[in-house]
Structure 1
Amino acid sequence: MVKVVSPISHREVEAVNIDFDAKTEPWITVDLSDGTVLKIRTLVTGVMRMEGEHDPVGNPLYNVSTQIVIRVVNAPKELRGTPTGATTPPGRASTGGPEIR
């Protein structure tokens, strides 16, 4: 168990890691108004249940950690340019989630 800050009560609570099995993680296709086509996929990397915390209808409160994968499938020639240097080291995803203490 770890301690996290609840987004509902704003108090520190214990959170339990929950095993999961992602049945599907489909790609969605997004057509942008500038002519670019993106493929986007959300990967679930972890699930925690916040002990004693419940949503407005009484369901247990979960925190789901994710990684978003975005691929540019096609971009108009006029938008293409010289590759920009990476700001995140290759192989390292940026992460977000609750404040873990």
Structure 2
Amino acid sequence: MSDSILYFCAACGIRCYTCQTTNPKTCTDILNCTELSLNRCFSLNVDGLITKGCINRGFCGGSMFCCEGDLCNSAIAIGPSVILLLVSSAIITLFL
């Protein structure tokens, strides 16, 4: 019984948000990536146009954000400046 569930889920693939938009809040459509070669979700922002969907991991890299797991491409990746701001705020709070 558990083996059949495992095989069934492996055939499902991953689910990714899919869109082409300039407003990331409107990207709510979900695509079931059932083709086995489409094993990553991606998000790409080129000149304000955001594109999301499924992709083969071999095409990941450069300015394209790729991730593994259901609906992992929902948000725009946090940049280093935001992380630096949060870390510096935490350090200041600890020492004040």
TM-score normalised to the size of structure 2?
0.22
Q: Decide which structure has the larger Cα Rg and report it.
A: 1
Higher strand share: 1
The structure showing larger relative contact order (alpha-carbon pairs under 8 Å, at least 6 residues apart) is: 1
Higher helix share: 2
TM-score normalised to the size of structure 1?
0.22
